[in-house]
Amino acid sequence: MSGRTIWIARHGNREDFVDPGWVKRADRPFDPGLSPDGQEQARQLADRLAGENISRIYSSPYLRTVETAHAVAERLGLPVYLEPGFGEWLNPTYFPAAPQLLSVETLRRRFPRVSNEHEAVEHPVYPESERDVAARSARVSDRLIERTGDESILLVGHGATVTFSIRYLAPNAEPFSARLCSITKIVINGRRRELALRGDISHLTRSEEAVRWNLRPWP
C-alpha cells in the first residue's frame, strides 16, 4: 500500500491505574508516568514500529505519553517533538484545574531524545467540552500532517485526542475507543485517506484486561 502513513498511538498503562495509593503520594497527581507493565508496552510498541519508515514523532507533553514516545524514539533513532495540542482533554469533570506538568527542560533532561525544535500548533485552554477537544484534535492532526509534507509520522496521545483525531481523519470508520498502547494506521494518497489498521494491540503481550486497574473517572 503506497502513500504516506500517519500512525496514531495511545500511551501505555499508567502508574495510577495499577497503584491505588499513587495519587496520594504524587507531586503532580494528574500527570502519572507509565507503570512497569506500561513501560513494557511502550517497548513492544517500539518493536512493532521498527522498520515502518517513520520520520517524525510528535507527543503530548504529559509524562506517560513522553515515556511512550521516547521508547519508540530510542528504537527508531529519532527525536520526540512535544505538541501540547495533542495533550489530555481538559475536562472539568476530571480536573479541578489545568494539570501541572513537568517543564520541557525537565523532560529533556530525563529523556534525551526530546527536542525543543518544534513550534507548538496549539496550547489547550482549560476547561474544555467534548466538542472542544474533538475540534482541537482535528485541528492539530491536520496541521501536523500539513507541516510534514510527504513524511510518515507518529502521533502519541491520550484516549480522547487519539480517538477524536482518528474519527476526523477516517470519518467513515466504525467508531471505537482507543485502548492503552494501541496503534492506528492511516494511509494518505492525495486527498484519499484510508484506515489500514484500527486500534491494534496485537503487538502487546498484556492489554488492559490483564492488569489491575485503579478505577477512577479520569481518562
pLDDT tens string 147-160: 999 999 999 999 99
The amino acid present at 193, given as its one-letter code, is R
Q: Which residue, 136, 144, 120, is CA-closest to 88?
A: 136
Alpha-carbon distances of 82 from 65, 67, 89, rounded to whole Å: 10, 12, 16
Three-state DSSP class for residue 134: helix
In this structure, of 26-30, 161-165, 213-217, the range with the lowest mean pLDDT score is 213-217
Task: List domains and CATH numbers for the chain.
Answer: 4-185+197-210 (3.40.50.1240)
- Which tens digit of pLDDT belongs to each residue from 113-149? 999 999 999 999 999 999 999 999 999 999 999 999 9
Written as nine digits, the cell of 46 is: 517500539
Section 208-217 average pLDDT: 44
- pLDDT of residue 219 exceeding 60: no
**Residue 188 near residue 3, CB atoms below 8 Å:** yes
Task: Identify any residues that bridge with 197 across adjacent strands, giving them in sequence order.
Answer: 185
Angle between helices 36-49 and 63-76 (to 10 degrees): 40
Bond before 20 cis per omega within 30 degrees: no
- Which tens digit of pLDDT belongs to each residue from 18-75? 898 999 999 999 999 999 999 999 999 999 999 999 999 999 999 999 999 999 999 9
Task: Say how far apart CA 17 and CA 164 lie, in whole Å.
Answer: 22
**Residue 82 near residue 123, CB atoms below 8 Å:** no
- pLDDT of residue 211 exceeding 60: no
Taking all residues of the chain, what is their mean pLDDT, rounded to a whole number?
A: 92
